[in-house]
């Protein structure tokens, strides 16, 4: 099984006037994401299921990914993926769907923590900038420390 971890695109700055859950992706963030996806499509033959955090910036990011990979009926929002998401929830969701390729759109620092738990038995210092994608492969079911990191690609890689 392949698990793709995707951080939402660049979002509006934190403001007392906007709830964190309602921050939108910026125009520049969307453009950077769309540019990165052109390259992702070279490396990713398919995504079977796309799951997103319920926060607006993550849903907007997932909508762009969904449209690019024709996942309209395979795109779901799950409250478990909101900020503070636990890696055990990622593992349970991945194994529940029983597909070969599953993608999660989420937030920092959660994604760094998920990647660390999925591939290592020690602490790692991983930076997940907006619109970064990581691919982790597993032999069979998703389990802690059993994944192999295939790549971790920030958007600046595609400029």
Domain total in the chain: 1
The three-class DSSP label of residue 25 is strand
Within 53-120, strands assigned E span: 75-77, 101-106
Q: Has residue 51 been placed in a domain?
A: yes
Q: Has residue 18 been placed in a domain?
A: no
Q: Has residue 46 been placed in a domain?
A: yes
Q: Has residue 21 been placed in a domain?
A: no
Per residue in 29-47, is it b (16+ CB within 10 Å) or e — as a string?
Answer: bbebbeebbeebeeebeeb
Total Cβ atoms within 10 A of residue 144: 15
Q: Has residue 63 been placed in a domain?
A: yes
10: which DSSP letter?
Answer: P
* Residue-wise pLDDT tens digits, 113-128: 999 999 998 788 888 9
Q: Has residue 94 been placed in a domain?
A: yes
Q: Has residue 59 been placed in a domain?
A: yes
Task: Confirm whether pTM is higher than 0.85.
Answer: yes
Given this model, what pLDDT does residue 158 score? 72
* Residue-wise pLDDT tens digits, 57-89: 999 999 999 999 999 899 999 999 999 999 999
Cis peptide leading into residue 109 (ω within 30°): yes
Expressed as residue numbers, the domain containing 52 is: 2-11+26-158
CATH number for position 55: 3.40.50.1240
Percent of the chain with pLDDT over 90: 86
């Amino acid at each position: 099984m392949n698990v793709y971890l995707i951080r939402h695109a660049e979002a509006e700055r934190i403001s007392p006037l906007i709830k964190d859950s309602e921050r939108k992706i910026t125009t520049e963030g969307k453009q950077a994401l769309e540019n990165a996806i052109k390259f992702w499509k070279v490396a990713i033959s398919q995504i079977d299921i796309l799951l997103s955090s319920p926060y607006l910036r993550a849903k907007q990011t997932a909508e762009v990914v969904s449209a690019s990979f024709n996942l309209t009926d395979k795109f779901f929002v799950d409250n478990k993926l909101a900020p503070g998401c636990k890696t055990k929830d990622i593992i349970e969701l991945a194994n529940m769907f029983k597909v070969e390729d599953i993608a999660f759109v989420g937030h920092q620092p959660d994604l760094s923590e998920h990647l660390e738990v999925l591939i290592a038995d020690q602490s790692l210092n991983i930076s997940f900038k907006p619109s970064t994608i990581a691919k982790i492969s597993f032999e069979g079911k998703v389990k802690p420390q059993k994944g192999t990191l295939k790549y971790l690609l920030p958007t600046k890689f595609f400029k």
